[in-house]
Amino acid sequence: MDASQVYILISIIILAIVAIVLYFASRKKSKEGLSKLAALAFAFIIAGIIFGEDRLIGYSLLGVGVFLALVDIYYKLRQRE
C-alpha cells in the first residue's frame, strides 16, 4: 500500500466518523439540508479522493474542501449566537 493510499484511506475513515457523529448529534434536531457552502466542500473532498492519483491536484482539492467545510461551520456557529 502506497503512502498516498494510506492518506486517502485515513481521510475516508475520518469523514465516516464525522458523518456518524453528526448523524447521532442531529437526530434530535429538525432536518435541514446541506448549505451551499457545505455541498461545495463535500464536492471538493469527493473530487480530491477521485483525483488522488495526482498528488498535487488530489491534496489541493481535499484541502480546499476541508477549508470550505471549516468556513461553513464558522458561519453556522456565528448565526446561532
**What is the per-residue pLDDT across 1-40, written as a single tens digit (0 to 9) for each?**
788 888 888 988 998 898 888 877 777 666 667 889 999 9
pTM, rounded to two decimals: 0.60
The band of 53, judged by pLDDT with boundaries at 50, 70 and 90, is confident
Query: What's the domain range around 34?
Result: 3-80
Q: How far apart are CA 29 and CA 12, in angstroms?
A: 26
Total domains present in the chain: 1
Cα separations (Å) of 1 from 5, 8, 48, 59? 6, 11, 19, 18
Cell numbers describing residue 39? 455541498
* Mean pLDDT lowest among 42-46, 48-52, 66-70: 48-52
**33-62: burial string, b at 16+ Cβ within 10 Å, e else:** eeeeebebbbebbebbbebbeeeeebbebb
Does pLDDT of 51 surpass 70? yes
The band of 71, judged by pLDDT with boundaries at 50, 70 and 90, is very high
